[in-house]
């Protein structure tokens, strides 16, 4: 499941991944929120947290993630990715190099630092 993170500044959209994340989660929660934020602003800041409750993605969710990222590749101003899952941290760092904005990976214990960084 993907749920919005409330209480973030207006220029930041945030999500928390809990359990197994599906393409339906992307299509009903994440993508509509990203599209709505982009209708307001040309640039987007994203906080994406995959904490201890995260269990994985299905193939459709991974495909939807790639599609939304590439569809708006020039819109990503800052992405704060929070996880203790090593392969996801590595992937985020690797793909961060192709993004025109800034991508930074944080450990779950650094969630407050991630919120501050993505908001500044």
Q: Are 10 and 25 in contact (CB under 8 A)?
A: no
Give pLDDT tens digits along the chain (120 positions).
999 999 999 989 999 999 999 999 999 999 999 999 999 888 999 999 999 999 999 999 988 888 888 888 889 999 999 999 999 999 888 877 777 789 999 999 999 999 999 999
- The Cα 106–Cα 37 span in angstroms is 23
Query: CA angle 56-57-58, nearest 5°?
Result: 130
pLDDT tens, 63-96? Answer: 888 888 888 888 999 999 999 999 999 988 887 7
pLDDT of residue 33: 95
76-83/12-21 β-pairing: unpaired
Q: How many CB atoms lie within 10 A of CB 27?
A: 14
Structural domains in the chain, CATH included, are: 2-119 (3.30.750)
């Amino acid at each position: 499941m993907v749920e919005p993170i409330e209480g973030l500044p207006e220029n930041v959209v945030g999500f928390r991944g809990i359990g197994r994340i599906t393409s339906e989660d992307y299509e009903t929660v994440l993508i509509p929120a990203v599209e709505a934020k982009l209708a307001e602003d040309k640039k987007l800041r994203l906080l994406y947290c995959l904490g201890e409750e995260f269990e994985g993605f299905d193939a459709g969710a991974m495909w939807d993630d790639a599609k939304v990222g590439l569809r708006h590749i020039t819109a990503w101003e800052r992405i704060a990715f929070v996880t203790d899952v090593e392969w996801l941290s590595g992937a985020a760092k690797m793909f961060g190099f192709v993004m025109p904005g800034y991508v930074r990976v944080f450990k779950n214990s650094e969630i407050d630092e991630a919120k501050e960084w993505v908001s500044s």
